[in-house]
Structure 1
């Protein structure tokens, strides 16, 4: 199978799984926000945010290191997996103790601490499930990744909704996450052990040290990323209380749900980019150029559409109780298309062995975000957190673009800037003057946007060549995107 088709199939598997998962997750969170009181939903959102920051310490960047190294040498999978598993176990236990101490030192109430402890157990289990995902992705077999993700959300949503409608409250609701994730870990183990790994307890302490050393730049980059992604929620909890956390989380979680699009795309091309860095640098540059263009074309109308439909989205799904979330969603919407590009450039740096530059960029961005939040949140609350998130993403884009231009390729994005803006303007006119309901206006706005994109001849000959390779049956002998 040609590289184009393999990437396409993997994107389809991952995007289908992410779409189903995000829809189910969205449904679950909407009902959680509606059924739980705002304070309880705020506690749950705080627990998720804090756990997402802490779990990065348990992972330490090992997942992404495994994808890159196993993609380059499939025979190393057994050695990497078992040693990485032990390293993760140690760091997970240490981090769990750290979370317990931190919550008690900061004086959080007992009910909040209980919810965090429960969600943290869920995140520990998920970090080991993610280790199996790394193997599936390194072998470019995203079907198994997709299968497990769909099963997880079907089970979690079913049980979670039952718990919510039965009135069991936030603590029991949190336990459903542990049950669903533990079941997925067992399934992932059986798939991996039958198809990819011969799990044997052959530990190598020196190799474990090398894993930690190699993974550290990845890990610190993700720690910094988690800080600027979720620290706003944590600081809102401390400065403004659980109700404002709930208001902000409604808007922020909607934005994060949309980010499954670049996540899926980049996860599909990351192993290929890592391999091409060693074997075909021109093909790597080609993938980067086209990916930058496609993610911008897709991301910009999503930002624009979310801004103009924010009021209808919030009221339709969450009700009048969360109208305060509208302005936060409008501000956050503008960071979406920038985030699409930042995902690509961040993983691009990792694929070309520039993870130290990625780590520096993420670290600088985390510091920038914390400073902005400290300035804005005490006086502006939810709006301040949203403004900080927007300017933080711009800051990260500048750093990533500089390093990718220096170490791989200088992409002149001014060449593709104008036509998607014109198409977005046409889409806005349709949204404003059509008077249609939300269910119809979203897909029809997309049709208007892409119709203008094609009319303006935004896609070039090689773009159609890629589409042709995807659609034509049969294999292409040359394993290159350029042929």
Structure 2
């Protein structure tokens, strides 16, 4: 199996798992919003967002460091994984200890505090089980990541829907997540011990200190990234109310899930490859980066255009007659899809060339801008202000990534990959607007044909794409 086939295989299995699990999660999301209502759904969104942020203190970037180091030397697997898991036990305890402190500082109600404990327990265990997923990713055996994700999400969604249909509320859903967190750890460790490393207890303080120190830039990057994704929800809960949180997340969650599906399956497959390519001579890594950005541009621009034009149709499809206030937020937030997906590659490039510190700095500056914009805009425009802050911050992050790549690696003309997909998407969007009265599925099918037809007419694909296709088919170009 050549490198192209291996990458596509890993993207394929990861993509299958991401799509399947995201569809299951989306079904749960739909029923959460419909059954819980705006206020309780707002509590759910606030609690899971805040605890996702807190859980970054359990990892502190260790998982991402493991992927890079084990991908370069697989003999490190056993000692690194064992020490990483042991390291995360006290970190997880300290993370959960932050819950009562934050509850007191923010004057949170007792029911919100209980939700924070349950979702916090789940997120801490998910971070520990992620240590084993880092091992699978470093070995480029993404099928095991896929198995884990499918099992985890199946349990969460099945039990979550069960308690909702039985008439239980948000606390029962949170308890389901906590039970799923225990199962996550058992499944991930079982796969790891059966296929990759022996179960062992290896306590090496020097190695654990190194994991902490070298993983810290990754950890800060993850912390600021979670700020990026979740701080708008947290601030809406503090500065507005549960209803505003519910309306905003009804628009944000589907788009976030869509972008996470694609970025997750691509980054997990290309990160080990890009880490190895940095040790090679020549322009292999640069060319790989450009090709990856180009294909993500081709995928993401029509998604943004379709979501922008068909926002009311999608919101109506998802939530029936409710959450009409989410339509304009959905339209604004759709603009971040191409920026976020391409930033996945440029951010991964910075980590691959050992410049994760600049990736962390970029995300931290963008998160700071996001917080400032949210504090200014939420009191004035509520969830609409939060939507604007998200898009502006995403654009700022994209510009910072390109700046540091050009400064510490070389100039990579990522912007050049946007032109033809953006043009084809504008034409497609205009056509969709004229077909608004048709069945939604028919619109999507016709729009896809129009988009790819325009791409072909403006000669978007070239000999390089032919070479990639031939390698994918296992034939020499």
Correspondence 1:163 to 2:149: no
Correspondence 1:429 to 2:430: yes
Give the Cα–Cα distance (whole angstroms) in 2 for the partners of residues 341 and 461 of structure 1.
22
Give the Cα–Cα distance (whole angstroms) in 2 for the partners of residues 202 and 230 of structure 1.
35
The structural deviation recorded for 1:414 is 4.7
Give the Cα–Cα distance (whole angstroms) in 2 for the partners of residues 99 and 279 of structure 1.
46
The equivalences for 1:18-417 within 5 A come to 18-259=18-259, 260-417=261-418
The structural deviation recorded for 1:184 is 2.7
The 8 Å contact of residues 285 and 408 in structure 1, kept in 2 or not, is answered as: no
Unaligned runs of 5+ in 1: 477-482
Deviates further, 174-183 or 360-369: 174-183
Q: Deviations over 1:342-381 (max 9, x none)?
A: 1111111001000111111111111111111111111110
SS at 2:340 equivalent? helix
The 8 Å contact of residues 71 and 271 in structure 1, kept in 2 or not, is answered as: yes
The 8 Å contact of residues 286 and 412 in structure 2, kept in 1 or not, is answered as: no
The 8 Å contact of residues 307 and 333 in structure 1, kept in 2 or not, is answered as: yes
Unaligned runs of 5+ in 2: none
The structural deviation recorded for 1:443 is 3.5
Report the equivalent of 1:479. none
Deviates further, 24-33 or 297-306: 297-306
Give the TM-score taking structure 2 as reference length. 0.97
Q: Deviations over 1:179-212 (max 9, x none)?
A: 2232232122111101111221121101111110
- Structure-2 change in CA distance of 1:346 and 1:210 (3 Å): same
Give the Cα–Cα distance (whole angstroms) in 2 for the partners of residues 5 and 45 of structure 1.
39
Report the equivalent of 1:461. 463
Give the Cα–Cα distance (whole angstroms) in 1 for the partners of residues 453 and 181 of structure 2.
42
SS at 1:360 equivalent? helix
Report the equivalent of 1:439. 441
The structural deviation recorded for 1:280 is 4.4
The structural deviation recorded for 1:281 is 4.9
Deviates further, 149-158 or 24-33: 149-158
Report the equivalent of 1:480. none
Give the TM-score taking structure 1 as reference length. 0.96
SS at 1:321 equivalent? coil
The 8 Å contact of residues 376 and 384 in structure 1, kept in 2 or not, is answered as: yes
The 8 Å contact of residues 45 and 245 in structure 1, kept in 2 or not, is answered as: yes
Give the Cα–Cα distance (whole angstroms) in 2 for the partners of residues 49 and 5 of structure 1.
37
- Structure-2 change in CA distance of 1:67 and 1:321 (3 Å): same
The 8 Å contact of residues 349 and 358 in structure 1, kept in 2 or not, is answered as: yes
- Structure-2 change in CA distance of 1:385 and 1:118 (3 Å): same
SS at 1:13 equivalent? helix
Give the Cα–Cα distance (whole angstroms) in 1 for the partners of residues 93 and 416 of structure 2.
50
The 8 Å contact of residues 28 and 161 in structure 1, kept in 2 or not, is answered as: yes
The 8 Å contact of residues 228 and 365 in structure 1, kept in 2 or not, is answered as: yes
The 8 Å contact of residues 99 and 113 in structure 2, kept in 1 or not, is answered as: no
The structural deviation recorded for 1:461 is 0.4
Q: Deviations over 1:167-188 (max 9, x none)?
A: 1111011111122232232122
Aligned residues: 475
Give the Cα–Cα distance (whole angstroms) in 1 for the partners of residues 48 and 410 of structure 2.
37
Instruction: Supply the RMSD in Å over aligned alpha carbons.
Output: 1.4
The structural deviation recorded for 1:406 is 2.4
Report the equivalent of 1:12. 12
The structural deviation recorded for 1:420 is 1.3
Deviates further, 275-284 or 24-33: 275-284
Deviates further, 8-17 or 341-350: 341-350
- Structure-2 change in CA distance of 1:106 and 1:280 (3 Å): same
The 8 Å contact of residues 293 and 417 in structure 2, kept in 1 or not, is answered as: no
Deviates further, 185-194 or 69-78: 185-194
The 8 Å contact of residues 121 and 181 in structure 2, kept in 1 or not, is answered as: no
SS at 2:214 equivalent? helix
Deviates further, 272-281 or 319-328: 272-281
Q: Deviations over 1:401-457 (max 9, x none)?
A: 111122333222453333212211221133112232223322432232122112221
The structural deviation recorded for 1:119 is 0.7
Q: Deviations over 1:255-282 (max 9, x none)?
A: 1111111221111000010111113452
Q: Deviations over 1:73-123 (max 9, x none)?
A: 000011111111122222111111012211122111111111111111111
Q: Deviations over 1:192-239 (max 9, x none)?
A: 101111221121101111110000000011111111211110010011
